[in-house]
């Protein structure tokens, strides 16, 4: 290609369906539901009022619903008010409005009350879970003119959405309006969550920080509202193409916008006015707006930072402290609450890695004097950094070059020079013959590794077979020097891929399950059981974690 020739921009299209994604386990599905309030409270504790942008598009999109009420004081209910990004722009445009603002996060309500423009004469802010609390006991029934629901219903489990609507209906006036905007099916954020296998149910996903998001179709949304007693006024799915020229990416964001009213109780229902983008109700071809360099259109609010949502990682500028027995490591890594902002899982520290490095620190004999290989070490490499204190040699591997670059920094800032000399960092993509040969050369093709460790490397079903094939190629033979039996030790959070699938794949490559430990339950006093001496688990932060350790012999 000639230098003056324009570079080709990559167009990223969202997947039309999420049906191929594997579901999270029942344990995690129930936990995300049970702890939904806590996850949002943690979100607002960390981000305060800095995450969402103020929604100044309300007048442009829905001005007609707020105007033309001379002599009346307009009463608005903002559902899921968050830090007040809808409330205060609305008050600025319509000074006479009175707003009831509710959220089920106490921290969010505190942020609203601390806002410089908050006044009790104009805002009634209160904590409320609309799936359980009776709204009519807090707000006078049939007293609200407009309900705004902006990127909030998507955070509720689909089966509980009717409870929210019926609750709202109690306080909304006859002919009152619900102004709705939220995520639409096919949005690129949905595609990213699908690829990371964080699906709870159809079109319902969990982000890395535990908060959830549902992606609406027009049919689903309208059916939901009409069954709850609302009429449809207008609806449409919008599309915005966001171009980042520096990364040569074009990304599609989609959102759904609608207005609903209470059904008349004593008259014939009027014919619904359908305002569709291309007059199609199933999958309209949306209109497009194109902006460059990440897009900063104030009229568009998808409730997530555009840059961070699509692989442009947030700055990793804070150290996470990890303690393992007498060792303390300060690791540069992406905080867990930002997991959903980054495609690379290798930039985070997983609970299984924390757990395994503690086990190694408590049981140095498991790796003492041995050749150790860590698969999928990520940028933290804490298991390798503990093991290198006792092992003859440690090779830390990962397929992500960005993670390996950060790993080098973490090793240099945490280990003494004599330990660094015993550690080798190598790129290894499972199943890649060239990578496997390069790693083999380190300890000699015929020697192999005495211990292979992997933490949270079994979450993707398609990667399990290449994982075991790679381990088979690199593990030492049973009669290796010293007479010790080689072992493959895997630790993971119980979630997507079940134990039977893992063991079955392991057997195909000649690995036999010699022992296992499941969430504190150990079937016998075997190898793993001997590691848990004293009160390691009872006094540990991991005692309630759904962790599994699988010990395979070669």
Helix axes 26-34, 36-47, angle to 10 degrees: 60
Place 154 in a pLDDT band, splitting at 50, 70 and 90: very high
What's the Rg (C-alpha) of the chain?
27
- pLDDT band at residue 86 using 50, 70 and 90 as cut-offs: confident
Phi–psi pair at 420, nearest 5 degrees: -60, -35
Closest CA to 50 of 95, 83, 90: 83
- What are the pLDDT digits (tens) for 502-548? 999 999 999 999 998 886 555 556 788 777 765 555 445 555 567 88
Give the integer Cα–Cα distance in Å for 149 and 258: 10
Domains of the chain (ranges; CATH) run 10-309 (3.40.50.150), 319-553 (3.40.50.150)
Confirm if 240 and 288 have CB atoms less than 8 A apart. Answer: yes
Burial class (CB in 10 A: 0-12, 13-18, 19+), 225: buried
Pair 83, 111: CB distance under 8 Å: yes
Q: Where are the alpha helices (DSSP H) in 94-187?
A: 106-114, 161-171
Separation CA 529–CA 79 (nearest Å): 50
The pLDDT assigned to 494 comes to 72
321-332: pLDDT as tens digits: 888 888 899 888
Q: How far is CA 195 from CA 36, 190, 388, 480, in A?
A: 23, 9, 34, 40
Model pLDDT, residue 1? 43
Using one digit for the tens of pLDDT, what is the confidence trace for 209-254? 788 999 999 999 999 999 999 999 999 998 887 665 554 556 678 8
Q: How many residues does the chain have?
A: 554
Q: What does the angle CA 206 – CA 208 – CA 213 come to, to the nearest 5 degrees?
A: 30
CA distance 286 to 236: 8
Residue whose token pair is 């179709």: 217
Q: What pLDDT score was predicted for residue 472?
A: 95
CB 341 within 8 A of CB 308: yes
Dump pLDDT digits (tens) for 413-462: 999 988 999 999 999 999 999 999 999 999 876 789 999 999 989 877 78
Check whether 15 has a pLDDT greater than 50. Answer: no
How large is the average pLDDT for residues 398-407? 88
How crowded is residue 410: how many other Cβ atoms within 10 Å of its Cβ? 21
pLDDT over 70, % of the chain = 74
What is d(CA 466, CA 472) in angstroms, rounded to the nearest whole number?
Answer: 10
Predicted local confidence at residue 459, as pLDDT: 78
pTM flag (> 0.85): no
Strand (E) or helix (H) holding 425: strand 423-427
> Which carries the bigger pLDDT value, residue 22 or residue 458?
458
Better-scored residue on pLDDT, 207 or 263: 207
Structure tokens at 417: 């020079």
Q: What is the pLDDT of residue 294?
A: 36
d(CA 262, CA 173) in angstroms, rounded, equals: 8
Predicted confidence at residue 288, as pLDDT, reads 35
SS (H, E, C) 374-425: EECCCCCCHHHHHHCCCCCEEEEEECCHHHHHHHHHHHHHHCCHHHHCCEEE
pLDDT digits (tens, 9 = 90+) for 281-339: 223 333 333 333 333 443 444 444 433 333 334 445 567 888 888 889 988 866 554 44
Contact 495, 30 (CB under 8 A): no
């Amino acid at each position: 290609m000639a230098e003056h020739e324009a570079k080709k921009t990559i167009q990223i299209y969202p997947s039309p369906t999420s049906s191929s994604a594997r579901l999270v386990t029942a344990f995690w599905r129930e936990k995300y539901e049970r702890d939904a309030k806590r996850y949002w409270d943690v979100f607002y504790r960390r981000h305060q009022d800095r995450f969402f942008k103020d929604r100044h598009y309300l007048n442009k999109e829905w001005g007609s619903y707020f105007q033309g009420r001379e002599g009346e004081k307009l009463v608005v209910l903002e559902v899921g008010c968050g830090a007040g990004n809808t409330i205060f722009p609305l008050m600025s445009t319509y000074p006479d409005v009175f707003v009831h603002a509710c959220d089920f996060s106490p921290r969010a309500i505190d942020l609203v009350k601390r806002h410089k423009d908050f006044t009790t004469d104009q805002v009634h802010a209160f904590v409320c879970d609309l799936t359980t609390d009776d709204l009519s006991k807090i707000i006078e029934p049939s007293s609200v003119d407009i309900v705004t629901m902006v990127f909030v219903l998507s955070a509720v489990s689909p089966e509980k959405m009717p409870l929210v609507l019926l609750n709202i209906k109690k306080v909304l006036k006859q002919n009152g309006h619900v102004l709705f905007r939220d995520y639409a099916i096919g949005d690129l954020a949905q595609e990213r969550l699908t690829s990371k296998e964080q699906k709870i149910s159809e079109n319902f996903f969990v982000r890395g920080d535990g908060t959830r998001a549902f992606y609406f179709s027009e049919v689903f949304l309208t059916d939901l509202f009409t069954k709850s007693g609302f009429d449809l006024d207008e609806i449409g799915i919008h599309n915005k193409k966001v171009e980042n020229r520096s990364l040569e990416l074009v990304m599609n964001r989609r959102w759904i916008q609608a207005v609903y009213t209470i059904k008349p109780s004593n008259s014939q229902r009027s014919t619904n006015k359908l305002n569709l983008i291309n007059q199609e109700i199933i999958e309209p071809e949306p209109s497009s707006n194109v902006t460059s360099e990440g897009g900063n259109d104030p009229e568009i609010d998808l409730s997530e930072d555009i840059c961070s949502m699509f692989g442009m990682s947030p700055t990793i500028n804070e150290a996470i402290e990890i303690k393992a027995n007498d060792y303390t490591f300060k690791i540069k890594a992406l905080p867990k609450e930002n997991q959903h902002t980054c495609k690379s899982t290798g930039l985070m520290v997983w609970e299984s890695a924390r757990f395994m490095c503690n086990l190694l620190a408590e049981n140095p004999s498991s790796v003492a004097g041995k050749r150790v290989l860590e698969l999928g070490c990520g940028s933290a490499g804490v298991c390798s950094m503990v093991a290198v204190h006792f092992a003859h040699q440690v090779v830390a591997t990962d397929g992500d070059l960005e993670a390996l670059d950060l790993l080098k920094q973490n090793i240099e800032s945490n280990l003494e020079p004599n330990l660094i000399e015993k550690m080798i960092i190598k790129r290894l993509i499972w199943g890649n013959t060239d990578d496997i040969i390069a790693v083999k050369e380190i300890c000699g093709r015929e020697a192999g590794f005495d211990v292979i460790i992997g933490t949270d490397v079994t979450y993707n079903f398609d990667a399990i077979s290449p994982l075991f094939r790679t381990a088979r190629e690199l593990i030492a033979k049973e009669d290796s020097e010293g007479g010790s039996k080689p072992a493959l030790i895997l630790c993971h959070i119980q979630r997507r891929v079940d134990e039977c699938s893992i063991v079955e794949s392991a057997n195909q490559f000649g690995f036999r399950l010699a022992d296992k430990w499941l969430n504190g339950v150990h079937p016998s006093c075997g190898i793993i059981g001997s590691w848990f001496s004293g009160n390691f688990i009872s006094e540990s932060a991991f005692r309630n974690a759904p962790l599994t350790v699988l010990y395979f012999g070669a």
